[in-house]
Structure 1
Amino acid sequence: MFPFASLLSLALASGALAQTYSATYLPSNVPKTTEEGQSGTNQCGTGSDQNSMCQNLYINSIDDFCLFAPPKPGADSTIGNTERIEVAWCIKPGYGTRLIPDGAITGAHFVQTPDYVQVTGVGDLTKLNIAESDVGQGGELDPHGADGNGNPIGGLVFSSAFGQLEQIHEWTNFMAADEFCIRACKDGPNAPALCQHIYDVMGCDWNMPGNYQPGSFDSCQGDTGEPMGVYGTSTFHQGQAVTPPAHDAPATSSCKPVSSIGNFAVTGTGSSAASVTGSSTASGASVTGTQRNSVSAAPSGSGTRSGTSSGTAAPTGAGSNGAASHLGGSAFGVMAAGVAVVFGAALVV
């Protein structure tokens, strides 16, 4: 057996590599496109247009976030089929994007942690052109893709959640016709592990366990969760015979409920440390629910997503959207990386 001390040294050495990104932009200085073959644009202006091809996404707060979704409706507009050409749909106007129609999102839950911000929720996302057949796991978008150019190609994410507005280099966004989740990770050694992109057929519940309660909207503080797919010193890889359960949903606190979200305002209804219910913009119904913090083990090839899988190949790096990175130095991921190296496992980052 490989000595533990040597294993630890190898893991720490892997984590000591410098994390680099090929470019960092702001909306004010971004070029028209940031990747070859990009179908949309990153120079989006400040207007709102339901035919916009803007591929800049923002995640700032419960009333100010965006999602990637298809540019056109149709039976073939599953995320797996359209992942390379998705466009940004936003709650708030002013970014040059399409607006999420009022009532499309019937439950949304924003969580700010020390290392990432996340929104989980449900709704009728066929209003964002997602095919009604694309339910369940849906499909995944991220800044890597199979070729390092991102899904969508050239898609950028910005956030002011950690202070001033900045580009987020590591992020992951799952979309289905009835459910969504998005996480944007603060730049740092933990970011690649906490915004891992290789579990693209596993869906929201497994990748981002949390609150998916319909009929309510809130903003919470939260603990940083465990990185998806990492269990102690072992790392699960999609396609293995047995799929482990999802991690438990991290604890949240200081939750502030709002009555609804829409294109122009969110109305506050007080604050509470407990889960609350509220009225959605779609039906006005108050619905109670529970956090989704685990899924049953199942063969890992059972996801419904079709199309190019971003987990089938490691990003070759170096797209100008700045997504290229190395084995991260995460306190909870670096040991797993060392184990994978020692025993010859291919740890994809």
Structure 2
Amino acid sequence: MFFKVLTFASTALLGSHIANAQVITGDGPRPPALTTPAKEGSWTPPAGSGASLTGMGRDLYINSATDFCLLMPPDPVNQNLVDAEAVAVSYCIKPTNGTRPMPDGFIKTAHYRETADYVQISGTYDPAIMNLAANDCGGEYDNHGAEGVGNPVGVNIKNGYTNFFEFIGGCDIPGNAVFCLRTCKGDQSYPYCRNSLDLMGCLFTMPGDYDTPGFTNCQADPGLVVGAFNATYTFSQGMTPTPTIAPPAPQSSQCTTTASPTASGVTYTWNQEAAAAQTAATTTTSSARGTSTGQSSSGTNSNAAKGDSHLGALGLLVTSTLGALIAAVIVL
């Protein structure tokens, strides 16, 4: 919930708006400018799923390293991660009920941890595929929010879980954007899904596996509640000094490695990598056509030369015939 309040003292800056009005925008950098939209992929929603590329559903679940959802901006061309806190929608690897499909290639690594009190997914993502700025530090999505109604409102946590919080951003590990989502079960589970440390990010609130490549599913101990760094010290936002070393990750066991999610042909128009690849392909094709056209042009010139040769021969024939007729007339 990082917000910056900009106060304008002049109607000249606000156009027709009232002077001194407050405009609330996210602290993060604006989304990258989308100069060339990508072509949508071949994905079609499964029959009866209710999923779509423009869905506004907010179902949220974590089933495994290759079957989960993340809340993200519905319009990443114009919204950064903080802008979307109140309006985020679900992108799911197996979308249903109005949720959107996760774009192919967005999730780079994912590690699932199941405990008695919560399940958690953590990993890394490719910002360009969702048109997110690589240095967008992001914000927190949770079912409480500043007014107790959720950020965003109306998230449906599946599988009997009652609390959740999610971080996504590019500042926890600079150069390697990370995401984390935890859903907690039971009325007493909130300490494991405590949402009041929204300045701390993934590494401090959801210790887990962020550096390991690939996709894994593990059982794990619950570990420390959010904000606890050891048995005697629990940090609350606003305390000083702010901890600089993240708490240890819970012990995990029975881990299995799985393949990355199968590509489903999901490409959104704001996918920068797809747009760049398509532009490169178009340029290559145009160059090839240009070369082909040049060859065709050479062929046309050759044909023209042949045509000139035919016309030259015809001219000689006509000239010689006229000459013979004139000579015959003179003799007569």
Could you say which TM-score interval applies, normalised by the shorter chain?
Answer: 0.5 to 0.7
Matches within 5 A, 1:1-349: 46-74=49-77, 77-135=79-137, 138-159=138-159, 166=160, 168-177=161-170, 178-189=177-188, 191-213=189-211, 215-230=213-228, 231-244=230-243, 245-262=245-262
SS in 2 for 1:235: coil
Is the alpha carbon distance of 1:152 and 1:220 closer, same or farther for their aligned partners in structure 2, counting shifts above 3 Å? same
**Cα distance in structure 2, aligned partners of 1:85 and 1:129:** 17
How many percent of aligned residue pairs carry the same amino acid?
41
- The structure in which a higher percent of residues are helix is 2
Give the Å deviation of 1:246: 2.4
Structure 1: distance between partners of 2:263 and 2:150: 27
1:238, CA displacement in angstroms?
1.1
In the other structure, the counterpart of 1:274 is none
8 A contact 1:61–1:110 mirrored in 2 = yes
Number of residue equivalences: 210
Structure 1 stretches of 5 or more lacking a match?
1-44, 160-165, 265-281, 283-349
State the secondary structure of the residue aligned to 2:82.
helix
CA distance in 2, matches of 1:224, 1:236: 18
Check the 8 A contact 2:105/2:263 in 1, yes or no: no
Deviation at 1:123, TM superposition (A): 1.2
Measured against aligned partners, the alpha-carbon deviations of 1:193-236 in whole angstroms (never above 9, x if no partner) come to 01110010111011111111353101001111101213435532
How far apart are 1:263 and its partner, in Å?
5.6
Segments of 5+ residues of structure 2 without an aligned counterpart are: 1-47, 171-176, 265-272, 274-332
Cα separation, 2, equivalents of 1:130 and 1:69 = 10
Q: Looking at both structures, which has the greater relative contact order when contacts are Cα pairs under 8 Å and sequence separation is at least 6? A: 1
Question: Separation in 2 of the partners of 1:206 and 1:140?
Answer: 13
CA-to-aligned-CA distance 1:112-147 (integer Å, 9 cap, x gap) = 111110000001144335343314xx2111000000
**Cα pair 1:107 1:121 within 8 Å, conserved:** yes
- Please state whether the residue corresponding to 1:247 is helix, strand or coil: coil
Between the aligned partners of 2:210 and 2:125, the Cα distance in structure 1 is: 10
Distance 1:215 1:132, change over 3 A: same
Alignment RMSD, CA only?
2.0
> In the alignment, residue 81 of structure 1 is paired with which amino acid?
D
Computing the radius of gyration over CA atoms, which structure comes out larger, 1 or 2? Answer: 2
User: Displaced runs of 4+ in structure 1, greater than 3 A?
Assistant: 128-133, 231-235
When the two structures are superposed, what TM-score results if normalisation uses the length of structure 1? 0.56
1:73-113 deviation line (CA, Å, top 9, x unaligned): 23x52222220000000011334311111211110000111
Question: What is the TM-score of this pair, normalised by structure 2?
Answer: 0.59
Change (3 A) 1:82 1:93: closer
Q: Distance in 1 between matches of 2:66 and 2:88?
A: 21
- Aligned with 1:196: secondary structure? coil
- Asked if structure 2 preserves the Cα contact closer than 8 Å seen for 1:69 and 1:129, the reply is no
The CA distance in 2 between the partners of 1:77 and 1:239, in whole Å, is 28
When residues 228 and 127 of structure 1 are mapped into structure 2, their CA distance, relative to the original with a 3 A threshold, is same
Instruction: Report the secondary structure of 2:202's partner residue.
Output: helix
Kept after mapping to 2: 8 A contact 1:222/1:251: yes
Give me the whole-angstrom Cα distance separating, in 2, the residues matched to 1:56 and 1:83: 15
Alignment partners' CA distance in 1, 2:132 and 2:153: 18
Contact (CA 8 Å) 2:105, 2:129: kept in 1 or not? no
- SS in structure 1 of the partner of residue 204 of structure 2: helix
